[in-house]
Amino acid sequence: MADGAVVNTFDPYAVRAQFPILSRQVNGRPLVYLDNAASAQKPRAVIDALLATMEGGYANVHRGLHTLSNEATEAFEKAREIVARFLNAESAEQVVWTKGGTEAINLVANGLGLSIQPGDEIVVSEMEHHSNIVPWHLLRERRGAVIKWIPVKDDGSLDMAAYAGLLGPKTRMVAVTHMSNVLGTINPVAEISRLAHAAGAQVLIDGCQGAVHATPDVQAIGCDFYVLTGHKLFAPTGIGALYGKAEALEALPPYQGGGEMIETVEQDRVTYARPPHRFEAGTPPILEAIGLGVALEWLAQYDRAAVQAHEHALYQHAVDRLQGETWLRILGQAEGKGAILTFAVEGAHAHDVAQIMDRYGVAVRAGLHCAEPLAKRMGVTSSTRASFALYNTVEDADAFVDALIKARNFFV
């Protein structure tokens, strides 16, 4: 296939064949991997690229003058450019490498925290992952910030009228997920950004799910910061990225100190590099960044709309088969939601449901999904989650429903 060519007809079986792990068995059954919202599997292209780099092209990046260092630097910075294109950023210099989405949010929160005054307000939603809650709680504890919460409606959508009413002259930051990791809700992030900016606040979008299943166009969204993580995007763990508007990154102080992020170091003073290197102290995640670049190039060969339609069709197929089951409660049914099916089974704990389904080779998630405020809002102490990816098939969806029904019957 030519570089940059897009597959117009999406074939999930051809995609699935590129993931070695999906051919294995679990408990004597074919693996049905539906824990993609937690972490996605890795295609052969990424595995091979990591191996090839370790075997024949690894060295530290940037300051080396030898051939291996130059080659590694070129691959490392090419990956940054790939991420910038993926996000539709204006420049690769607006992409900061982090070890994941959590570190990216903490980077912004720590930088903002140095100027936070008691009473300044941070607006988050009730559907946020803990990674987009706890860093703001640290500002509440340490700087006297006030956290305000956007309510979630019964269908799993945000109450946008309530959100507009939360904004005011003390609002400093609005931090909202692009797509809920529990409900699958895809939020109107462009409108969220517009309203926040009208109130004089900055906007951070947690795109750890949205970058995979929605459309992460930062210019269209208009946010100040956008966060993604590699391991959900078919890349290695330990790598993520923070996009920031040029002026927003320039205004942030360094997050960590060390090599790479400095301009000069003297006994009585230090000056710092410009973004993005200002925020990349120490030896960076070289292999992981290269792996993320390869994963995004691999993903780019598939038409995004076709992938989204395929994932939604699998979700809908499972929901249709479960229609009318009074023992099942589906959490989150907002219009246009992504392919995440989170549910509670009457009379059964989510952990037990997940463990029984695992007997049939079906891997799902159970618990609070790092979203405790949302669980409280939805009135559950735990739930089970099946999350679909582009390599899942209708056979996977059927195996999921069959295993779920068997699990439920265990408790009857």
Pair 337, 211 in one domain: no
- One-character DSSP codes across 196-207: HHHTT-EEEEE-
Asked if residue 44 belongs to a domain, the reply is no
Task: List the Cα angle 101/314/24 in 5-degree steps.
Answer: 75
What is the percent of the chain where pLDDT is above 70? 98
Q: Quick check: 99 pLDDT over 50?
A: yes
Q: What is the pLDDT of residue 4?
A: 56
Which tokens go with 83? 């991420």
Asked if residue 4 belongs to a domain, the reply is no
Asked if residue 1 belongs to a domain, the reply is no
Pair 307, 284 in one domain: no
Q: What is the pLDDT of residue 64?
A: 81
Pair 324, 202 in one domain: no
Which tokens go with 56? 């024949």
208 in catalytic set? no
Pair 129, 231 in one domain: yes
Q: What is the mean pLDDT of the chain?
A: 96
Q: What is the pLDDT of residue 412?
A: 84
Give per-residue pLDDT as tens, 48-92. Answer: 999 999 999 999 999 888 999 999 999 999 999 999 999 999 999
Asked if residue 36 belongs to a domain, the reply is no
Pair 20, 136 in one domain: no
Give per-residue pLDDT as tens, 162-173. Answer: 999 999 999 999
User: Tell me, what CATH number does 210's domain have?
Assistant: 3.40.640.10
| Sign of the CA dihedral with 382 first, then 383, 384, and 387 last | negative
User: Tell me, what CATH number does 351's domain have?
Assistant: 3.90.1150.10
Pair 291, 349 in one domain: no
Of 248, 283, 300, the residue at which a domain comes to its end is 300
Pair 136, 240 in one domain: yes
Pair 94, 205 in one domain: yes
Q: What is the pLDDT of residue 63?
A: 81
Which tokens go with 250? 């320039």
Of 300, 335, 350, the residue at which a domain comes to its end is 300
Q: Which domain holds residue 295?
A: 49-300
Pair 243, 288 in one domain: yes
Q: Which of 138, 147, 160, 370 is catalytic?
A: 370
Distance of alpha carbon 388 from alpha carbon 385, whole angstroms: 10
Asked if residue 279 belongs to a domain, the reply is yes
Q: Quick check: 118 pLDDT over 50?
A: yes
Distance of alpha carbon 382 from alpha carbon 84, whole angstroms: 37
Distance of alpha carbon 143 from alpha carbon 120, whole angstroms: 9
153-160 average pLDDT score: 98
Give per-residue pLDDT as tens, 365-393. Answer: 999 999 999 999 999 999 999 999 999 99
Asked if residue 239 belongs to a domain, the reply is yes
Q: What is the pLDDT of residue 2?
A: 45
Asked if residue 78 belongs to a domain, the reply is yes
Q: Quick check: 266 pLDDT over 60?
A: yes
Give per-residue pLDDT as tens, 182-240. Answer: 999 999 999 999 999 999 999 999 999 999 999 999 999 999 999 999 999 999 999 99
Pair 279, 308 in one domain: no
Give per-residue pLDDT as tens, 325-367. Answer: 999 999 999 999 999 999 999 999 999 999 999 999 999 999 9
Within 10 angstroms of residue 3's Cβ, the number of other Cβ atoms is 7
286-306 average pLDDT score: 97
Q: pLDDT band for 6, please (50, 70, 90 cuts).
A: low
Asked if residue 39 belongs to a domain, the reply is no
Within 10 angstroms of residue 283's Cβ, the number of other Cβ atoms is 12
Q: Quick check: 1 pLDDT over 50?
A: no
Of 250, 270, 300, the residue at which a domain comes to its end is 300
Which tokens go with 367? 């618990």
Token pair 């080396």 in the structure block, residue? 64
Q: Quick check: 7 pLDDT over 70?
A: no
**What domain count does the chain have?**
2
Distance of alpha carbon 321 from alpha carbon 78, whole angstroms: 45
Give per-residue pLDDT as tens, 173-197. Answer: 999 999 999 999 999 999 999 999 9
Pair 59, 148 in one domain: yes
pTM: 0.96
First to last CA, the chain: 52
Pair 327, 283 in one domain: no
Q: What are phi and psi of 185, to 5 degrees?
A: -60, 130
